[in-house]
Amino acid sequence: MPPPTTIGVVGGGAWGTALALHAARAGHTVKLFVREPEVAASVNDPAVRENTTFLKGFKLPAAVSATTDLGEAVRGASVVLLVVPTPFLAATAAALAPLVDPASTTLVSCTKGILNDTLETPAGILSRVLPEAVRPRLAYLSGPSFAAEVAAGAPTVVTIAAEDEAVARGVQEALSTPTFRCYRTTDVVGVELGGALKNVLAIACGISDGLGFGANGRAALITRGLGEMTRVAAALGAHPLTMAGLAGMGDLVLTCTGDLSRNRTVGLRVGRGEKVADVVG
């Protein structure tokens, strides 16, 4: 394991907080950027030490501190984890760009999805928004990982993707622990599409389960859905085998079967007769 360093986490939701907790367990000093002053207060309060708004029930060690100042969160960080929803990624990355040293800081996108208006993945958004000097040190984290289980220290395996394998290796070494194993790849396109396309199938599996179609129907959706994901990804330049790995099949199985899956839960409730607007509300 490399020597401890400072890691910045931009995004104080459940996933960002879980990754901050994990990074602290890996021996790093962690600065967590949050937008809500009350979240920062609850994290920094020695009597609380929790993100009581988004990830209640998980104590954060003293190595994690929260701030509402983006510059403070990333100052001196060798690795910055970007953990913000896809619709807000462009604005956040643009604000972040002048605050990091492109020669020494690796930016890791931990965001999954496809932007509705432009159909860009996070890699497309970051390539458009960030200055050219920052782009060579971009990496992407994806794979089967529920925030609550990572926070609890449950065994988890993810993929780190970067066009430069040395960049992926650096992130892999910084974040890997006995209970959080990171694999690496240079197939950024495949890893990102795996993390986005599986959500559609998770909703479909939820609907199938809600309608009472059983395990046979769920297995059919997962298997044939993986075939469709592979064809789409390959057409867009991904390596087909990436869809058979953690970022593809792994994340697909987790999201389609796990009780903590939000997408499956939406489908399950719709399949049982609820209206989409009511479920989302």
What residues form DSSP beta bridges with 107? 80, 138
Question: What is the amino acid identity at position 122?
Answer: P
Q: What are the backbone dihedrals phi and psi of residue 98, each rounded to the nearest 5 degrees, phi first?
A: -75, -5
Alpha-carbon gap, residue 161 to 73, rounded angstroms: 24
Q: How many helices (H) and strands (E) does the chain have?
A: 12, 8
User: What sign does the CA torsion over 178, 180, 183, 186 have?
Assistant: negative
- Active site residue: 31, 56, 59, 198, which one? 198
Alpha helices for 26-131 (secondary structure H) = 37-44, 70-74, 86-96, 122-129
For residue 179, give the nearest of 25, 17, 63, 3 by alpha carbon: 25
Sheet with 29-33, edge to edge strand ranges: 64-67, 29-33, 6-10, 79-82, 106-109, 138-142, 156-161, 180-185
Residue 168 near residue 185 (C-beta atoms within 8 A): yes
Element at 161 (helix H, strand E): strand 156-161
Active site residue 31: no
Residue 191 near residue 159 (C-beta atoms within 8 A): yes
Strands 138-142 and 156-161: antiparallel
Catalytic residues: 198
